[in-house]
Structure 1
Amino acid sequence: MMRLKYIWILVLALFFTLPIDAQCAMCRAVLESEEGQQTAKGINNGIVYLMIIPYILIGTVGYFIYRNKKKAS
């Protein structure tokens, strides 16, 4: 029952995230001078994409460690 609760919390957290800006101040200053802002959006999406990969990897490893410890006991 608790496992289902954690799955729902994870699903809600993934679906109801707020848009974030991941640019540093210097990158933002350079990219804001552009007319269409398409490059700034692309850079921001790339930064967020690169930032999320380590969290997914660590979460996956943590899940497998948890599952193996739970199986052993």
Structure 2
Amino acid sequence: MKKIGPLLMILLCSVQAMAQCSLCTKTAQQLGEGPAKGLNSGILYLALTPLLIIGILGFRWWRSNREQ
């Protein structure tokens, strides 16, 4: 797991994901390419924190149950 963790983080960070709904995408594209990419990056950044917290809590729960 120690070898897979950093590799997985690098893979997830290098993938370009689209985080916008279709309405937000249409609105952002009307503003231009730069603001659309900025909005998408902001959405991904804001989504990363709660997902990271849930992942850490889930891993700790799994690890504690596995040891018992």
Partner of residue 2 from structure 2, selected from 7, 16, 26 = 7
**1:67 CA drift (Å):** 5.1
- Please tell me the root mean square deviation across aligned C-alpha atoms, in Å: 1.8
Report the count of equivalent residues. 65
1:19-62 C-alpha deviation (Å, 9 max, x unpaired): 11101100111111223x22111111111112111121112223
Partner SS state of residue 2, structure 2:
helix
Greater C-alpha Rg: 1
1:28 maps to which residue?
25
Gaps of 5+ in 1: 1-5
The aligned residue for residue 34 of structure 2 is 38
How high is the TM-score relative to the length of structure 2?
0.73
Aligned-residue identity in percent: 29
Q: Once superposed, which parts of structure 1, at least 4 consecutive aligned residues long, lie more than 6 Å away?
A: none
TM-score by length of 1: 0.69
